[in-house]
A and B are shown apart, each in its own frame.
Chain A
């Protein structure tokens, strides 16, 4: 049976293989999206009747799933799906500060109007006008109510360029938190490996501090990957976490440049496996570039880390070029 979606005045039959998101956009609905792969939750909508499919609810908090929230970019309904109008509830926040902390990387501090309950390493959806994007939380509730994001400014990026230029006091919307990339208590002696590229460092910073704050006693190794040695940021803070105990290790890995103490040159996956040839019993966190994250996830698993002990957030961005919007053509079955 072909899928059919209804939302407000919109009533259309999906084409074979078409997602609910593609159908909604074809029908002229204004639904935000970014990754179109179920990773950012920017497109989330609520089904009031019908089945969006289990794939479309993967990664959503159980409470959201129960209420019918789903990700239209991952939904290929086979029956009729009635979708509620309007976006998911959000809280308001003010941009408190935007600081350049690396090459084309800004730290954005947000003051939410209401306290957000989250674990460092999870991500939020930032809402600005009709754009919604996922950003990971580098901060911790233990540091206060303010949220800290690290944002790479993409040359053509709508949200990232807007954020980089935003004046203090500017209002944005926030949703979340989401994601399972965070420290879990229960095994304080378990060794932790944190590997990230670029602003993938944001959640890892949050996780490393959180682990220590919660009394983690096992070794923690953080490997930060960048294209070249100029791309590292937060260097002083991370070096400051290395103490005499040898329990915290900080390694930089660049694709090109001269190797030196604490700086490895080469492919991030190769370097990681060379430094950590056996990961049996380890807990692994991987964040940043989807290619790197997926390659590392597979290799860390093959080197002995249990699949349930690997948490990964691939920072999927919108595809280039954005899919063309077809003219609105509401079709009634």
Chain B
């Protein structure tokens, strides 16, 4: 099965998606404090990696990477509400790009699979 990443058009399309997604996140008062980085390119690179992964593109993440990358955010207080908001903006971004609902659901499921890693919880919880 070709990945949504390839269907969207690979890296170029992901760049466009990053702009839309990042803008939504920055405009969200709940999330903005965690994503407000003076180095916007660095922040965008992280989001690109995230979008690449959840659309099934060539990402090289392990659960451990995910945990390490988000540990400081967890310490600062991110939780399920933030995760849900991010997934919501992800869906909104894909919708804007004309992605069908069933594919958006597939991406949602992929994102869901890293929830525990991002929030640094045991899978059993």
Chain A positions within 8 Å of B, measured between CB atoms, are 294, 297-298, 301-302, 304, 306-308
Chain B binding surface SS class: helix
Task: Let me know if B15 and A301 touch, CB within 8 A.
Answer: no
Contact A302 B19 (CB under 8 A): no
Q: Give bound CA distance, A304 to B44, whole Å.
A: 15
Cβ contacts A to B, 13 pairs, < 8 Å: A294-B38, A297-B40, A298-B26, A301-B22, A301-B40, A302-B23, A302-B27, A304-B23, A306-B16, A306-B19, A307-B22, A307-B41, A307-B44
B18 within 8 Å of A by Cβ? yes
Q: Assuming the A-B contacts A307-B18, A308-B15, are A298 and B27 also in contact, with contact meaning beta carbons closer than 8 angstroms in the complex?
A: no
Most chain-A Cβ atoms within 10 A of its Cβ — which of B18, B36, B40?
B40
Interface size class of B (residues with CB under 8 A): 10 to 19
| B window 1-48: CB within 8 A of A | 15-16, 18-19, 22-23, 26-27, 36, 38, 40-41, 44
* Closest Cβ–Cβ distance, residue B33 to chain A (whole Å): 13
- Residue among A294, A304, A306 with most chain B CB within 10 A: A306
Q: What is the bound-complex CA distance between A304 and B96, given in angstroms? A: 14
- A37: min CB distance to chain B, Å: 10
Kindly state the separation between the CA atoms of A306 and B38 in the bound complex, as whole angstroms: 16
**Distance in angstroms between the alpha carbons of A304 and B23 in the assembled complex:** 8
| A294 CB contacts on chain B under 8 angstroms | 38
Q: Cβ of A302: which chain B residues have Cβ within 8 Å of it? A: 23, 26-27
Q: Which residues of A contact B23 (CB under 8 A)?
A: 301-302, 304
Q: Which residues of A contact B44 (CB under 8 A)?
A: 307
